[in-house]
Amino acid sequence: MAFSLIDNKVINFIKEARIELKKVVWPKRSEIKKFTLIVIGVSVATAIFLGLLDFLFSLGIRNIIQ
């Protein structure tokens, strides 16, 4: 009895998941490329900004120590 109850829950979950996946509006390939380039650009810009801050703080600390 317990196994059939668990089986029914699993089967119902899979059925409902498939129904929900049919409702999803998947992005087009061009949108995926565009958003990927945006993420890469923002990541590079952030890395440059943080690297510059690190360099400036390192210079400041080095000047304070000397």
Query: What gap in Å lies between CA 4 and CA 22, rounded to an integer?
Result: 27
Query: Following DSSP, what letter does each residue of the chain receive, concatenated?
Result: -HHHHHHHHHHHHHHHHHHHHHH--PPPHHHHHHHHHHHHHHHHHHHHHHHHHHHHHHHHHHHHH-
pLDDT tens for each residue of 3-48? 676 778 889 999 999 999 999 999 999 999 999 999 999 999 999 9
pLDDT at 4: 72
Domain positions in the chain: 2-65
23 HSE (CA, 13 A, CB side): 5
pLDDT at 37: 98
pLDDT at 24: 95
Question: Mean pLDDT across the stretch 39-60?
Answer: 97
At 2, the pLDDT band (50, 70, 90 cuts) reads: low
